[in-house]
Amino acid sequence: MLLTKDPKKFLVRTAYEVKKYRVLMKVIPIILSAVTLLTSTVYVIAVMYDKYGSYTVSINKLDNIDYQLALSEERNFNTMTSRLNARASEKITNISVNDLDNDLDMIDGSHNGANYVAYTYYMKNVGKRTVKTEYLLYIVNVTQNLDKAVRIRLYINGEPTTYARTRSDGKGPEVDTDGTVCEEFISSTTISREQLPTTAPGDTVKFTVVIWIEGDDPDCTDDLIGGTFKIDMKISIIAVDQDGDGIIDSDYSRDE
């Protein structure tokens, strides 16, 4: 005897399957969107983490009051110190250089964005003699190789320079999507070490440091998740005008 399917049951099952298919077609895009959103925000990094804040700058204090520097977050130097600490930014995600605000060098003190650290401060010669100084910008701590994708932009008197680690393939400096050719870190621990403009008594130098994780860097991968990164700056007097005639004595012994 030839067995045949019940037409009614066949139609009911087919209608159920069609309904199930339609429901799945509505749910799947929602799930995919949620997964995509999760993926796009996965690079949550604890960048600046300790009690000293996100970034510390200090100057070497000398015993001779003729050669003295001071730091301040205020351009009028109503408050002066030998050490400044930027406000911490504990968790940030990767961004593009094009996401940075345009007023980075125009706001005094800490002015962090949603996903970057920004800090503006001033150094002043408060001594009695002209001095020549240098800064050392260095890495205090890094984990998860986070420095592979980090960018540090340093403004000195309004002139910006962006620093990055040498490309992982060894083929020179990083080039960001805005066309910036980054200066390579000097070493695994030193970002930059440069002389500053010679300052006479009363002269000031303005600094702004900006730190972010560059999402367009090929090294910005899941391997960096949970990494930490902290940098500091030290400013030192390396030469002084000992005779008062404006000539810098390059044999001056600096305090290391």
- pLDDT above 90 covers a percentage of the chain that reads 60
Give the C-alpha separation, 132 to 125, whole Å: 10
pTM exceeds cut of 0.95: no
Give the C-alpha separation, 187 to 215, whole Å: 22
**Other CB atoms closer than 10 Å to residue 32's CB: what's the count?**
10
The pLDDT of 128-138, averaged and rounded, is: 95
pLDDT band at residue 226 using 50, 70 and 90 as cut-offs: confident
The per-residue pLDDT for 15 is: 57
The pLDDT of 241-254, averaged and rounded, is: 65
Checking if the pLDDT of 214 tops 50, the result is: yes
User: Residue 179, SS3?
Assistant: coil
The per-residue pLDDT for 10 is: 46
* Lookup: tokens for 63: 């015993």
Q: How many residues does the chain have?
A: 256
Checking if the pLDDT of 16 tops 90, the result is: no
DSSP 153: E
Q: Per DSSP, what are the bridge partners of residue 229?
A: 142
- By CB atoms closer than 10 A (0-12, 13-18, 19+), residue 163 is buried
**Other CB atoms closer than 10 Å to residue 28's CB: what's the count?**
10
* Lookup: tokens for 234: 């030290």
pLDDT band at residue 240 using 50, 70 and 90 as cut-offs: confident
CA nearest neighbour of 138 among 152, 121, 123, 158: 152
Q: Per DSSP, what are the bridge partners of residue 72?
A: 122
Checking if the pLDDT of 88 tops 70, the result is: yes
pLDDT digits 0-9 by tens, 18-67: 555 565 555 555 544 444 333 333 344 444 444 556 788 999 877 788 89
Phi, psi dihedrals of residue 142, rounded to the nearest 5° = -150, 140
Question: Measured between alpha carbons, how far is residue 172 from residues 38, 53, 215 in Å?
Answer: 33, 32, 19
